[in-house]
Amino acid sequence: MTTNAVRPRLIATDLDGTLLCPSGTVSDRTAAALAAAEEAGVQVVFVTGRPPRWMQQLGPHIGGHGVAICSNGGAIVDVRRGETLEVFPLSPVDALAAVAALRAALPGTAFAFEHLDGFAREPEYQLRMWGESDDRHQPAAPAEELLAPGGPVRGLYKLLAKHPDLDPDAFLVEARRVAGHLAEITRSAPVALLEISSLGVTKASTLASWCREQGIDRSEVVAFGDMPNDLEMLAWAGTSYAVANAHPEVLAAVAQHTVSNEHDGVAVAVEELLKRRDD
């Protein structure tokens, strides 16, 4: 691991595969490092692909402000109060255009929708990943019905596209080719699952907006990530780290590396940054 002598004011970290243990929990060492950062006056913001409804158990670790950036920048939420503060929505028109383009080019793709009132999906969208079992009783209908005026999807901040067979990276490349002009398309899961937001809405764009409101310059931000959906944020921040278990594209793009999430990579880097900050 290499480090720069930086005096950070804000730490922006991804969760799954980065901050969290492989079990999805916060280790004692990581919890202590985050608490030490907050005590030193460094704001900690979770910047994640997770939807707001998957954040409640992380409330004790989120810092004094209680705010997280969820759904790849699609929503800013107050985790402790369970309140959505701001949404950067994908319009139904653009969402349906992306659905049509992906269906035509990649038959077998099924869709789900994260929105202000929760979650909805097409019947063909299989719920198999961690956390998805909580969504089994949410509305299930074709995309056109879910996104119709007066339908159950209101304030769509992330469209999900899942394919049963494709290689995840190949799925992303082809999806961007046919629908990248309609929306932001990225991925963070180990399966063929794409995460789609409004054009211009990424982890980086919403983090930049939050930092402007806090009077924090990008040079004062340290970011951590592991997957393609982190790349814009890692490029934007003044200092960035990839964990050792990161996707090869992330490892290649980010100069500074820390150890894996299994070995508390974020905590290791934060401890050293705080030590240098005090020197």
pLDDT 10s digits, 238-273? 999 999 999 999 999 999 999 999 999 999 999 999
Q: What is the pTM of this model?
A: 0.91
Question: What CA–CA distances, in Å, run from 144 to 39, 93, 121, 137?
Answer: 49, 10, 11, 19
pLDDT band at 237 (very low <50, low <70, confident <90, very high): very high
Indicate the pLDDT class of residue 135, thresholds 50, 70 and 90.
Answer: low
Contact (Cβ atoms closer than 8 angstroms) between residue 106 and residue 166:
yes
Distances (CA, A) of 246 to 228, 236, 251: 9, 18, 6
Give the chain's mean pLDDT: 92
CA distance 2 to 167: 33
10-87+202-278 homologous superfamily: HAD superfamily/HAD-like (3.40.50.1000)
**Position 137 pLDDT exceeds 70:** no
- Give start-end residues of each CATH 3.40.50.1000 domain in the chain: 10-87+202-278
CATH no. of 92-198: 3.30.1240.10
Numbered ranges of CATH 3.30.1240.10 in the chain = 92-198
| Strands annotated E in the chain | 10-13, 43-47, 67-70, 75-78, 83-87, 110-115, 118-121, 156-162, 183-186, 193-198, 221-225, 239-243, 256-258
pLDDT bucket at 1, cuts 50 / 70 / 90: very low
Q: Using one digit for the tens of pLDDT, what is the confidence trace for 74-129? A: 999 998 888 889 999 999 999 999 999 999 999 999 999 999 988 999 999 988 65
Across the range 29-44, mean pLDDT stands at: 94
